[in-house]
Amino acid sequence: MSGPLASLKVLDFSTLLPGPFATLMLADMGAEVLRVESPTRPDMVRLLPPSEDGVSAVHGYLNRSKRCLALDLKKAEARQVVHELVKDYDIVVEQFRPGVMDKLGVGYETLKAINPGLIYCSITGYGQDGPYRDRAGHDLNYLALAGMTSYNGRRDSGPAPMAFQVADIAGGSCHAVMGILAAVVHRQQTGEGQHLDIAMTDAAFALHGLAAPPALVAGEDPALEGTTLNGGGFYDCYRTRDGRYLSVAGLEPQFFSQFCQAIGRPDLTSKGLSQDAQTVAEVKAGIAEALAGQDYDHWCALFADLDCCVEPVLSFSEAAAHPQLRARNMVVDVPRHDGGHQRQVASPFKFSATPVGYRFSGAHIGQHNREVLRERGLDDDAIQRLRDAGALGGDA
């Protein structure tokens, strides 16, 4: 593998979305990632349709370039395999509730005793301590408790779910990668590994970049359609005559002035940044009326040549085919295990000296059992004994 992280080896015990998305980023950047997956309790992502090559498309994407070893960690023999593997690995990523990895015999303290330089990242909903440490949750719950859902939505319909998993990905995945790489730098300087406690609720709470300061300093909680960026001003999406939508975001006066001229409402220019509720409503109503007077294609053609921060609201398929994303090669063909290719979203990282790479789409359960174990020095008889003991499962 190429990539700036080609020197790192990662054991990935995670399932679903946050951990796998984090290790996807690491794998794209060159890290060698080995998934350790249960043969008796498979990752639910494997069951999501559609499928290619007998593998879920979602699983194929989230787990590209990662080898898969199927171990039943409830068996002592499987735990011993992990204890041997961790001697040569830099990073562990896990996503169980607090204490589960300890019960399985592969918790931080156990693995640290084997490899003191190990960086061990635990991703959970609420963290390793606090009253909610053992509580079940999902992305919507974390965002709700972090105060983010309270100002996402419309006044007349109330709070709404986010369109994508903000707490899982922006919170869990991205913060895990940032923390891991910071710990790698620390270890390079000191030789010391450490345990990272990444709570998705904490990370979501930390994403209140513009809303937190007014709330903490002046007690001004953000409300639905109450800020410039959540529908409380003209910065919003507007319906065209044929039922499509445009995003209007030209907050700066030079952009808003140009926009108002383009839609034939220059009279709105001086009112764009008003904080008066009645004036804001007047501006939004004027924009809505103007944009509803023409079809989507008319406005797209008009704004294509204007630099005023107006863009069409595209479906995912339209976005994938957009000239900008095509020029950036944001959809790639990744080799499948049957010799075909799967279309996947590319890594967004563009390195001039160490480009990202894609080895293969997500593997079948245990597809790399024999390969990985032979690398550890086990012969066919030893591998069969693991299988006979119920410690090893999957396809190979």
Collect all residues with Cβ–Cβ distance below 8 Å to 360 and sequence separation of at least 6: 64, 65, 334, 335, 336, 337
Collect all residues with Cβ–Cβ distance below 8 Å to 216 and sequence separation of at least 6: none
Question: Per-residue pLDDT averaged across 13-17, rounded?
Answer: 98
Q: Please state, in angstroms and rounded to a whole number, the distance separating the CA atoms of residues 333 and 346.
A: 9
Report helix angle 174-190 to 18-28, nearest 10.
Answer: 60
Compute the 3-state secondary structure of the chain and give helix, strand, coil in percent, each to the nearest 5: 40, 15, 45
Q: Where are the domains of the chain?
A: 9-207+360-388, 245-312
The end-to-end CA distance of the chain, in Å, is 23
List pLDDT tens digits, range 31-41: 999 999 999 99
List pLDDT tens digits, range 60-91: 999 999 999 999 999 999 999 999 999 999 99
**What integer pLDDT is reported at residue 344 of this predicted model?**
98
- Catalytic entry in 28, 72, 139, 168: 168
**What integer pLDDT is reported at residue 218 of this predicted model?**
97
Using DSSP's 3-state secondary structure scheme, residue 171 falls into: helix
Using DSSP's 3-state secondary structure scheme, residue 139 falls into: helix
> What share of the chain has pLDDT > 90, as a percent?
96
Report helix angle 380-388 to 76-85, nearest 10.
Answer: 140
Q: Is the bond preceding 50 in cis, omega lying within 30 degrees of 0?
A: yes
Q: Please state, in angstroms and rounded to a whole number, the distance separating the CA atoms of residues 93 and 82.
A: 13
Return the exposure string of 284-311: e unless at least 16 CB atoms fall within 10 Å of the residue's CB, then b: bebbeebbeeeebeebeeebeeeebbbe
CB 254 within 8 A of CB 248: no
Q: Please state, in angstroms and rounded to a whole number, the distance separating the CA atoms of residues 167 and 138.
A: 9
- Catalytic entry in 83, 138, 195, 341: 138
> 305 to each of 258, 262, 263, 311, 319, how far by Cα in Å?
11, 11, 14, 11, 19
List pLDDT tens digits, range 354-381: 999 999 999 999 999 999 999 999 999 9
Residue 10 tokens read as 């990662």
Please report which confidence band the pLDDT of residue 1 belongs to, taking 50, 70 and 90 as the band edges. Answer: low
Cα Rg, the chain, nearest whole Å:
25
Q: Please state, in angstroms and rounded to a whole number, the distance separating the CA atoms of residues 357 and 349.
A: 11
> 51 to each of 54, 188, 317, how far by Cα in Å?
6, 41, 18
Q: With 80 as the cut, is the pLDDT of residue 395 above it?
A: no
**What integer pLDDT is reported at residue 147 of this predicted model?**
98
Q: Please state, in angstroms and rounded to a whole number, the distance separating the CA atoms of residues 46 and 367.
A: 14
Q: With 70 as the cut, is the pLDDT of residue 396 above it?
A: no
**What integer pLDDT is reported at residue 32 of this predicted model?**
98
Query: How many DSSP H helices and E strands does the chain contain?
Result: 16, 15
Q: Which CATH class is domain 9-207+360-388?
A: alpha beta
Collect all residues with Cβ–Cβ distance below 8 Å to 237 and sequence separation of at least 6: 245, 246, 247, 248, 313
Using DSSP's 3-state secondary structure scheme, residue 287 falls into: helix
CB 238 within 8 A of CB 293: no
Q: With 80 as the cut, is the pLDDT of residue 21 above it?
A: yes
- Mean pLDDT rounded to a whole number for the chain: 96
Residue 184, CA atoms < 13 Å, CB-side half-sphere? 19
Q: With 90 as the cut, is the pLDDT of residue 394 above it?
A: no
List pLDDT tens digits, range 176-218: 999 999 999 999 999 999 999 999 999 999 999 999 999 999 9
List pLDDT tens digits, range 230-263: 999 999 999 999 999 999 999 999 999 999 999 9
Catalytic residue at 53?
A: no
CB 114 within 8 A of CB 141: no
Query: CB count, 10 Å around CB of 78?
Result: 26
Catalytic residue at 341?
A: no
